[in-house]
Structure 1
Amino acid sequence: MIRPMLLAASLLLMAAPAPSDAADLKRSIFGKTIDGRDVEAITLTNPSGMSATILTYGATLQALMVPDPAGKLADVVLGYDDVAGYEKSANYFGASVGRYANRIAKGRFELDGRSYQLALNDNGAASLHGGQAGFDKKIWSVARVTEGPSASVEMTYVSPDGEEGYPGTLTTTVTYTLDDQNGLAIDYRATSDRPTIVNLTHHALFNMAGHSAAQSALDNVLQLAASRYLPVDEHLIPTGALSPVEGGVFDFLAPTVIGARVRDGAEPQLVVGRGYDHSFVLDGAAGALRLAARLSDPSSGRTLEFWSDQPGLQLYSGNFIDGTTVGKQGHVYRQGDGVALEPQRFPDAPNQKHLGSAVLRPGQVYSNSILLRASPMSRSRE
Structure 2
Amino acid sequence: MKNFAAIGALAAAIVISAPADAATAKRGSFGKLPDGRVVASVTLANARGVSATVITYGATLQSVVLPDRVGRRADVALGYDNIGDYLAKPQYFGGTVGRFANRIAVGRFRLDGQSYQTPVNNGKNSLHGGTIGFDKVLWEVVSVKNGPVASVTLRYVSPDGDQGYPGTMTVDATYSLDEKNNLSIEYVATTDRTTIANITNHAYWNLSGEGSSNGAMGHVVTIPAQSYLPTDDGAIPTGDYKPVAGTVFDFRRARAVGDRVRDARDQQIVWGRGYDHNWIIGTKVTPTEHLMARVSDPVSGRGFELWSNQPGLQFYSGNFLDGTSSGKAGKIYREGDAIVMEPQIFPDTPNQPKFGSARLEPGQTYRNIMTYRLTTGQPAKR
Write the letter of the residue equivalent to 1:44: L
2:369 corresponding residue in structure 1: 369
Residue 248 (structure 1) shift? 1.2
1:68 shift after superposition: 2.4
Residue identity in the other structure for 2:357: S
Q: Distance in 2 between matches of 1:295 and 1:376?
A: 12
Give me the CA root mean square deviation.
Answer: 1.5
Task: Show the counterpart of 1:273.
Answer: 272
20-29 or 331-340: bigger deviation? 20-29
Q: Provide Cα deviations, 1:73-114, integer angstroms capped at 9, x if missing partner.
A: 221110001001111223100000000000000100000110
Cα distance in 2, alignment partners of residues 42 and 265 from structure 1? 43
Shift of 1:129: 0.3
1:360·1:366 contact (CA, 8 Å) conserved in 2?
yes
- Structure 2 counterpart SS, 1:209: coil
Counterpart CA distance in 1 for 2:66 and 2:364 is: 36
1:379 to partner: Cα distance: 3.5
- Superposed CA deviations along residues 287-337 of structure 1, whole A, max 9, x for unmatched, are 130111111110111111100100101001111111111111211001111
User: In the TM superposition, what are the counterparts of 1:74-93 in structure 2 within 5 Å?
Assistant: 74-93=74-93
**CA distance in 1: counterparts of 2:360 and 2:147, whole angstroms:** 34
Alpha carbons 2:303, 2:376 under 8 Å: kept: no
Q: Secondary structure at the match of 1:217?
A: coil
Q: Which runs of 4+ in 1 moved over 6 A?
A: none
Letter in 1 for 2:198: N
Alpha-carbon distance, 1:247 to partner: 2.2
Q: Which runs of 5+ in 2 are unaligned?
A: 1-18
Q: Residues 377, 317 of structure 1: CA spacing in aligned structure 2 closer, same or farther, 3 A cutoff?
A: closer
Distance 2:293 2:29 in 1: 34
Cα distance in 1 for partners of 2:83, 2:378 equals 36
Decide whether the 8 Å contact of 2:211 with 2:330 is kept in 1: no
8 Å contact 2:277–2:314 — kept in the other structure? yes
SS at match of 2:329: helix
1:22-61 correspondence to structure 2 within 5 Å = 22-61=22-61
Correspondence for 1:344: 344
Query: What corresponds to 2:13 in structure 1?
Result: none
C-alpha deviation, 1:221, in angstroms? 0.8
User: Matches of residues 279-318 of structure 1 in structure 2 within 5 Å?
Assistant: 279-283=278-282, 286-287=285-286, 288-318=288-318
Decide whether the 8 Å contact of 1:182 with 1:376 is kept in 2: no
| Conserved? CA contact 1:107–1:120, under 8 Å | yes
Contact kept? 1:119, 1:132, Cα under 8 Å: yes
Q: Please list, as runs of the form range in 1=range in 2, the aligned pairs for 1:222-261 lying within 5 A after superposition.
A: 222-261=221-260
* Change over 3 Å in CA distance of 1:298–1:55 after alignment to 2: same
Shift of 1:191: 0.2
Q: Which moved more, 1:319-328 or 1:184-193?
A: 319-328
The residue identity in structure 1 corresponding to 2:281 is: L
State how far apart, in whole Å, the 2-side matches of 1:162 and 1:244 are: 39
- What aligned pairs does 1:204-215 form with structure 2 within 5 A after superposition? 204-215=203-214
- Secondary structure of the residue aligned to 1:354 is helix
Which stretch shows the higher mean deviation, 52-61 or 87-96? 87-96
Mapped partners of 1:85, 1:159: distance in 2: 24
Distance in 1 (alpha carbons) for counterparts of 2:97 and 2:295: 22
Partner of 1:16: none
- In the TM superposition, residue 245 of structure 1 has moved relative to its aligned partner by 0.5
Whole-angstrom CA distance in 1 between matches of 2:295 and 2:68 = 13
In structure 1, what is the Cα distance between the partners aligned to 2:90 and 2:291? 30
Instruction: Write the distance in 1 (CA, Å) between the matches of 2:20 and 2:228.
Output: 42
C-alpha separation in 1, matches of 2:381 and 2:148: 23
Rounded Cα–Cα distance in structure 2 between residues aligned with 1:222 and 1:341: 11
**1:139 match:** 138
Contact 2:302 2:377 in 1 (8 A): no
TM-score, normalised relative to structure 1: 0.92
Give, in whole Å, the separation in 2 of the partners of 1:264 and 1:229.
Answer: 17
Q: Distance in 2 between matches of 1:273 and 1:336?
A: 13
| Larger deviation, residues 207-216 vs 360-369 | 207-216
Amino acid at match of 1:279: N
Match of 1:5 in 2: none
Secondary structure of 1:85's partner?
helix
| Percentage of pairs with the same residue | 52
Q: Equivalent residue of 2:258, what SS?
A: helix
Q: In structure 2, how many angstroms separate the alpha carbons of the residues matched to 1:378 and 1:285? A: 36
Contact 2:177–2:184 (8 Å) recurs in 1: yes
In the aligned structure 2, how far is the partner of 1:286 from the partner of 1:248?
26
Using the alignment, how far apart are the partners of 1:352 and 1:20 within structure 2?
52
Read off the aligned partner of 2:115 and give its amino acid letter. Answer: S
Deviations for 1:35-67, whole angstroms, at most 9, x for unmatched residues? 221101100000101000000000000000112
Q: What SS is found at the alignment partner of 2:163?
A: helix
Contact 1:70 1:381 in 2 (8 A): no
2:164 maps to 1:165: yes
Rounded Cα–Cα distance in structure 2 between residues aligned with 1:363 and 1:285: 20
Alignment partners' CA distance in 2, 1:286 and 1:131 = 24
Indicate conservation of the 8 Å contact 1:201/1:368, yes or no.
yes
